[in-house]
Amino acid sequence: MWRLTSNYKEISGCGITGIISRKGELITGEMIIKAICCQYERGNGLGAGFAGYGIYPEFKDYYALHVMAQSRDALEKVEEYLPKRTFVSYQEFIPIRRVRTIKNPPIFKRYFVKPNLECELVDVCNIVSEEDFMVQLVMEINEKIEGVYVISSGKNMGTFKGVGFPDEIAEFFRVDEYKAYIWTAHNRFPTNTPGWWGGAHPFTLLDWSIVHNGEISSYGTNKRYLELFGYKCTLLTDTEVVAYLLDLLIRKHGLPLELACKAMAPPFWVEIDEMPEEERELYTALRILYGGAVLNGPFAILFAYNGGLVGLNDRVKLRPLVCAQKGDLFFMASEEAALRLICPDPERVWAPKAGEPVIVEMEEGTIPNQKSYLKPRPKEEREDALRIGSLPLSLLTGK
């Protein structure tokens, strides 16, 4: 497996990498392994992981639940629970290889399911959509079934993560055997949160996946804010809140991608005061409505979904993030060395500005279940109940 180094490195925390083909061409797992392992010194063996999109074409219309269980007994509890809530089309243990350095790993199994919208969960939780159902399902399992965690739950995508260096986790989960049109990867260096299998990156919910370099010092505030909307943070790592914030801001409240990024990494008040009137009103509303969603601390994040890849820095760029492009392929990483290793002759290379998202969406009609979040969702498709004083959410998302 790849374990490469470079003389040109800026050591400042974890390593992250993302790749997307705008035309939906499949990219081998070997490419993402090579890119993340170039950033080997950014980890300490306490966490690494990968998320791939397009890896389950034969089950593209099913939610792929990747379940991590600490014991057979815990797994049995999940298998008693799932048929009461879902229709399980297929299930299997996730294929793994034995790796000498990985001792006593959890059990990993995947289930391809569709929600049972006639079960009692729908009425009890006032569920109105399949996606709401699956979110509630994940929250219930992670909170109430001891020793079990759902580590990914999207359609035609999956997460593979654990305790180890990225080459070890890639070998363990046989990542080189998968092909995807979007990849994200992470090499972890835990600082203030535990290094454990569930705490490795990526963190996911539905088809959102997030990898992060840095620290979310606003974790407590973000966690309490999310709990107001029914999200449960159970994985003991600050990055988990970002996955749930993406779901809340974009899927539930209908914010377009760029505005959701600005809610998490907003302009400073002194900058807002100097904006033209209309823009000033918009960002004032955004900060008032979504104060609990602001991410404080140094961070560079990559997040993906079925249709796009986004890179975002904190408001003063305290963590590195570099992007590159060649044709319809886009690359993002903590280090330029990682990008040039897998794309030696890019057409362009750039470093995003602080707080300015880099958004790359696939060409329309390219993949099954494709989503685009560049525009506000129609009012009838979003929750429009959040108000502070006389300030409606529609001010942010359009009439």
User: Mean pLDDT, to the nearest integer, of 2-11?
Assistant: 42
Sorting pLDDT into bands at 50, 70 and 90, what band is 349?
Answer: very high
What is the predicted pLDDT for the residue at 388? Answer: 38
Task: Give the span between the Cα atoms of 257 and 328, in whole angstroms.
Answer: 20
- Of 14, 37, 38, 323, the active-site residue reads 14
The residue with tokens 């408001």 is 315
Q: Give me the sign of the Cα torsion angle 270, 273, 278, 283.
A: positive
Please report, rounded to a whole number, the percentage of residues in the chain having pLDDT higher than 90.
84
CB distance 233 to 254 below 8 Å: no
Longest dimension (CA), the chain: 62
Count the neighbouring beta carbons within 10 Å of the beta carbon of residue 215. Answer: 22
CATH superfamily to which 15-262+296-379 belongs: Aminohydrolase, N-terminal nucleophile (Ntn) domain (3.60.20.10)
Is the per-residue pLDDT at 136 higher than 70? yes
The residue with tokens 């299998």 is 197
What is the predicted pLDDT for the residue at 193? Answer: 80
Give pLDDT tens digits for 324-337: 999 999 999 999 99
Task: Give the span between the Cα atoms of 221 and 260, in whole angstroms.
Answer: 17
Is the per-residue pLDDT at 307 higher than 80? yes
What is the predicted pLDDT for the residue at 260? Answer: 95
Give pLDDT tens digits for 240-268: 999 999 999 999 998 999 999 999 999 99
Task: Give the span between the Cα atoms of 247 and 253, in whole angstroms.
Answer: 9
Sorting pLDDT into bands at 50, 70 and 90, what band is 273?
Answer: very high
Is the per-residue pLDDT at 389 higher than 60? no
- 343 assigned to active site: no
Sorting pLDDT into bands at 50, 70 and 90, what band is 376?
Answer: confident
What is the predicted pLDDT for the residue at 124? Answer: 72
Considering only CA atoms, which of 189, 144, 269, 268 is closest in space to residue 16? 189
Give pLDDT tens digits for 85-129: 999 999 999 999 999 999 999 999 999 999 999 988 887 777 879
pTM for this entry: 0.92
What is the predicted pLDDT for the residue at 385? Answer: 42
What is the predicted pLDDT for the residue at 371? Answer: 95
